[in-house]
Amino acid sequence: MKSFANLLRTTSTSCLAVALLMAVFNFAAAPMLNAQTQMNIVLVPTPAPPGDAPADAGPLATGLSPKITRANLAKEMKLVADWQLARLPEKAQYDWTFAALYTGMMAVPPQVAGDKYRNAMQNIADKLNWQPGPRVQLADDQAVGQMYLEQYMLHSDPKMLASIRARIDAQMAMPDSPKKPLWWWCDALFMEPPVLADLAAITHDDKYWNFMDHEWDITTKLLYNNDDHLYFRDATFLNSHEKNGARLFWSRGNGWVMAGIVRVLDRMPADSPLRPKYILLLQQMATSVAKIQGADGLWRPGLLNADAYPLPEVSGSAFITYALAYGVNHHMLPAKTYTPVIRKAWAGMLTHVYADGRLGSIQPVGAAPAPLSATSSYVYGVGAYLLAGSELYSTAK
How high is the mean pLDDT of the chain?
Answer: 91
Burial 321-357 (b: 16+ CB within 10 A, else e): bbbbbbbbbbebbeeeebeebbbbbbbbbbbbbbeeb
Q: Taken in order 69, 74, 79, 80, is the CA torsion positive or negative?
A: positive
Q: What pLDDT does residue 29 have?
A: 37
Distance CA(232)–CA(200), nearest Å, equals: 28
Q: How confident is the model at residue 3 (pLDDT cuts 50, 70, 90)?
A: very low
Largest CA distance in the chain: 69
Distance CA(100)–CA(118), nearest Å, equals: 14
Q: How confident is the model at residue 122 (pLDDT cuts 50, 70, 90)?
A: very high
> For the residues 5-12, what does the mean pLDDT come to?
37
Q: What pLDDT does residue 35 have?
A: 36
Question: What's the alpha-carbon Rg for the chain, to the nearest Å?
Answer: 21
Residues 6+ apart with CB under 8 A from 130: 148, 159, 160, 162, 163, 164
Residue 160 has pLDDT above 60, yes or no: yes
Residue 247 has phi, psi (to 5 degrees) of -65, 150
Residue 338 has pLDDT above 80, yes or no: yes
Residues 6+ apart with CB under 8 A from 389: 73, 76, 77, 108, 346
Residue 182 has pLDDT above 60, yes or no: yes
Distance CA(187)–CA(253), nearest Å, equals: 5
What are the pLDDT digits (tens) for 80-108?
999 999 999 999 999 999 999 999 999 99
Distance CA(133)–CA(328), nearest Å, equals: 34
Q: What pLDDT does residue 45 have?
A: 79
Three-class secondary structure of residue 309 per DSSP: coil
Residue 131 has pLDDT above 80, yes or no: yes
Q: What pLDDT does residue 41 have?
A: 57
Nearest 5 degrees, angle CA 342-CA 343-CA 346?
Answer: 85
Scanning the chain, the segments in alpha helix (DSSP H) are 2-10, 15-25, 35-40, 70-86, 96-107, 110-113, 116-127, 145-155, 159-172, 188-191, 193-203, 206-223, 251-267, 275-291, 314-329, 335-350, 379-393
What are the pLDDT digits (tens) for 300-317?
999 999 999 999 999 999
Is the distance from CB of 201 to CB of 267 less than 8 angstroms? Answer: yes
Short-list 27, 84, 2, 14, CA closest to 50: 84
Residues 6+ apart with CB under 8 A from 146: 99, 102, 103, 106, 194, 195, 198, 263
**Domains contained in the chain, CATH given:** 1-46 (no CATH), 47-393 (1.50.10.10)
Please pick, among 187, 213, 228, 234, the residue that the annotation labels catalytic. 187
Three-class secondary structure of residue 378 per DSSP: strand
Residue 337 has phi, psi (to 5 degrees) of -80, -45
Residue 260 has pLDDT above 60, yes or no: yes
Q: What pLDDT does residue 96 have?
A: 98
Distance CA(341)–CA(36), nearest Å, equals: 55
Q: What pLDDT does residue 155 have?
A: 98
Cβ neighbour number for residue 121 with a 10 Å cutoff: 21
> For the residues 239-243, what does the mean pLDDT come to?
98
Is the distance from CB of 300 to CB of 312 less than 8 angstroms? Answer: yes
Is the distance from CB of 100 to CB of 388 less than 8 angstroms? Answer: no
Residues 6+ apart with CB under 8 A from 260: 189, 190, 191, 193, 194
Distance CA(374)–CA(312), nearest Å, equals: 9
CA terminus-to-terminus distance, the chain:
64
Share of the chain above pLDDT 90, in %: 88
The CA-atom distances, in angstroms, between 208 and each of 165, 167, 181, 213, 330 are 10, 12, 17, 8, 23
Torsion of CA 356, 357, 360, 366, to 10 degrees: -120
What are the pLDDT digits (tens) for 287-296?
999 999 999 9
C-alpha atoms less than 13 angstroms from C-alpha of 311 in its C-beta half-sphere: 19
Q: Which region among 29-43, 99-113, 116-130 has the lowest average model confidence (pLDDT)?
A: 29-43
Is 82 assigned a catalytic role? Answer: no
Residue 28 has pLDDT above 60, yes or no: no
Q: What pLDDT does residue 43 have?
A: 72
Residue 51 has phi, psi (to 5 degrees) of 175, -175
